[in-house]
Structure 1
Amino acid sequence: MSFVNATLQAVAAPAHVVGDESVYLPHAQESARAVRGEIVIELTMRHAGNRSITLRYELQGPADAPVVFVAGGISAHRHLAPSAVFPEAGWLNSLIGTDRALDPDRRRLLAFDFIGADGKLDAPIDSSDQADAIAQLLTALDIPSLHAFVGYSYGALVGLQFALRHPSRLQRLVAVSGAHRAHPYAAACRALQRKAVVLGQLQCADAQGLSLARQFAMLSYRTPEEFEERFDAAPEIVNGRVRCAAEDYLDAAGAQYVARTPINAYVRLSESIDLHRVDPADIRVPTIVVAVEGDRLVPLSDSVTLVEGLGTYGQLRVLRSPYGHDAFLKETDRIDAILQSALRGTGEKA
């Protein structure tokens, strides 16, 4: 039942469907069918052996439309954007909609919650594990192949692994702000963030530790130029302590993250970024690499190395943005223009 390459030691067990929430919209909206569901798979993980894993997914779009898998950073999830069926806000709202490249009336959009996102798996998680899980999800949903995989940040790492391990199931990859390895500077930043979590746990202040880790991460996601523009105000003395202009922003980011993220999920998915490594020369799927000047986590030099390794399969697009690593969430029109070009010709409906 599985298309997984056995030489890569990925499990090929059938998936067990746990639940499915399917809704058909009447009349003109019927093309925008939205489905949520869960399946249980048996997965041979690279560093953790055989595991029973529950995959939670969401699929939206016409049944006969080309399927595009979309994956984001480690805090992303299966719900991409509001729909008539599931109206709550998603994590990619501005890049999905009518006349966008990711238009659910013309393409069938598939996303899932990353392995480990629920915090229940306390084991090292490799980006290759995520790719193999996606392959099993496609099999369970009777989707032979993807017309495209669009990955942002951690999702780009998973996309590179999917292209490497399951090339027959993918026509093209768009990898935004993600490369073939974790840059040593970025890995060091994440290591310190995880130490902040551990320190919080030792002090019985779990939430504070996770909040601090997220605040450190926010500094690496953005750029000094953005902070200069937004927070160039004199410090204030509050209750006898000096408080800089950016602290309210950072505190809010930390609090929001703590409210939705299990500590174990953060730690294991952060580690997963650092475990990631592929040889670009082994990838034989057309790939567009999108890099951002000023990205402190994925330097332009790494994106160039990735594209050079991809050879004739790789193309590079470079954005200049004050938003650094988070540009894909802020420069939505520019990212959409790249996606429009990248996804053209993937069998979409006229």
Structure 2
Amino acid sequence: MSLALPSSPFPEAFVPASVPVTDHSAALRGEFVAALPMRHAGLRTVTVRWECAGPPQAAVVVLAGGISAHRHVAANDRFAEKGWAEGLVGPGRTLDPQLLRVLAFDFIGADGTLDAPIDTADQADALALLLDHLSISRLQAFVGYSYGALVAQQFALRHRARVQRLVVVSGAHRAHPYAAAWRALQRRAVALGQLQCSEEHGLALARQFAMLSYRTPEEFSERFDAAPEVVNGRVRVAAEDYLDATAAQYVARTPVTAWLRLSESIDLHRVDPAQLQVPTVVVAVEGDRLVPLADLVTLVEGLGPRGSLRVLRSPYGHDAFLKETDRINSILATAIRLPGDTA
């Protein structure tokens, strides 16, 4: 999962808000500047960056991931770089760009230029502006994982007529207090790094803490069961190389301000499930330490007849969406009906 940076590794295509998108190639990418009334920060000027792949007349599905996800979900005919959801988007999959238009966007604040509290409602409203910009009246579905699941809920709540159904994976209607405390400590690690004039080291430590919360003890037992070693007079355990490499990759591509503000945004999220009037498939993972199964059961109960629950068992915990791609694809196949349904 990687955050979009101010200097993106992908070639940019600036599309002013007043100019309609007329290129009907299989994949398009653009950005525009808009005024966004934010819940906690007032009116701000933001840049909305997006990518869409698929036939221009096909039904549209929005795909949104965790706070590190971005607009490039999978390699396509125009943008060959590997995407963050590579195993879920492609020919023969439920999210097949030959049959659907798959739309994704960079979260507001992901470029690190917005140093203000960011609500999931702000992300939902930014998406509504994007749909207006692209002349898309209604989504076939919004598939959200982790933070994207929170944004999906807010979008259905605030723009109910613009989405036909939701698939929310590992994202509840509120932050669990344990997970919120875990993220608060990660933010303190960054603050400590900043006090020492080394915020990158603080972010690296926060990322390492995060990886422990994303995955499970079962996976670590299987992968890192080697005996500790004494290196330069200090004990080093088997998982440290993995954690160090993961942290280094993340710090190299992630603005600290972006990570802090989007981490906070998760904890700000809170909706009333009873107010969500859109048919919703909720996917929970047993062993997810950040979004417990019990919280997603509560979400489904609040949804009433509009909600249904699917439960996965996976050693990958919160990251199961990214690792169990075949199983997630099967769930999406039954959760998303193609054009012609009347739900």
TM-score bucket of the superposed structures, by smaller chain: over 0.9
Q: Secondary structure at the match of 2:116?
A: coil
User: Does residue 257 of the first structure (1) align with residue 256 of the second (2)?
Assistant: no
Match of residue 248 from structure 1: 241
Aligned residues: 327
- Corresponding position: 1:202 with 2:198: no
Please say which of residues 16-25 and 211-220 is displaced more in the overlay: 16-25
Q: Is the 8 A contact 2:20 2:133 kept in 1?
A: no
> How far apart, CA to CA, are the structure 2 residues paired with 1:42 and 1:225?
46
- Within a 5 Å distance, the mapping from 1:119-268 to structure 2 comes to 119-268=112-261
1:306 matches 2:299: yes
Task: Find the aligned partners of 2:292 and 2:339 in 1 and give their Cα distance.
Answer: 30
Q: Tell me which residue corresponds to 1:74.
A: 67
Contact 1:220 1:297 in 2 (8 A): yes
* Alignment partners' CA distance in 2, 1:256 and 1:22: 37
Answering whether residue 265 of structure 2 is matched by residue 272 of structure 1, we say yes
Give 2:274's aligned residue.
281
Aligned to 1:295: 288
Alpha-carbon spacing, 1:264–1:18, altered in 2? closer, same or farther (3 Å): farther
Partner AA of 1:116 in structure 2: G
1:340 equivalent in structure 2: 333
Q: What TM-score does the superposition give when structure 2 sets the normalisation length? A: 0.93
CA distance in 2, matches of 1:19, 1:112: 18
Contact 1:221 1:297 in 2 (8 A): yes
**Which runs of structure 1 show a deviation greater than 6 angstroms over 4 or more consecutive aligned residues?**
18-23
Match of 2:324 in 1: 331
Please give the secondary structure, in 1, of the residue aligned with 2:47. strand
Provide the rounded CA distance (Å) in 2 between the counterparts of 1:174 and 1:183. 20
The aligned amino acid for 2:17 is V
2:77 is aligned to: 84
Q: Deviations over 1:84-105 (max 9, x none)?
A: 2000111000111111010000
Cα separation, 1, equivalents of 2:284 and 2:239: 26
Shift of 1:21: 9.3
Contact 2:69 2:106 in 1 (8 A): yes
Measured in 2, the distance between the counterparts of 1:178 and 1:96 equals 20
TM-score by length of 1: 0.91
Contact kept? 1:174, 1:288, Cα under 8 Å? yes
Q: CA–CA distance in 2 between the matches of 1:23 and 1:243?
A: 54
Runs of 5+ unmatched residues, structure 2:
1-14
Amino acid at match of 2:117: P
RMSD in angstroms over aligned alpha carbons? 1.6
Q: Distance in 2 between matches of 1:19 and 1:325?
A: 40
Query: 1:346, 1:241 → 2: CA distance?
Result: 61
Would the aligned equivalents of 1:163 and 1:283 in 2 still touch at CA under 8 Å?
yes
Match of 1:97 among 90, 103, 107: 90
Q: CA deviation at 1:17?
A: 2.3
Is this contact kept in 2: 1:66–1:347, CA < 8 A?
A: no
Q: Give percent identity, aligned residues only.
A: 70
* Conserved? CA contact 2:70–2:104, under 8 Å: yes
Structure 1 unmatched runs, 5+: 1-14, 26-32
After superposition, the C-alpha distances for 1:261-288 in whole angstroms (9 at most, x for unaligned) are: 0000000000000000000000000000
Residue 34 (str. 1) matches residue 30 (str. 2): no
Cα contact 2:170–2:285 (8 A) shared by 1? yes
CA contact (8 A) 2:187 2:260 kept: yes
Partner SS state of residue 87, structure 2 = helix
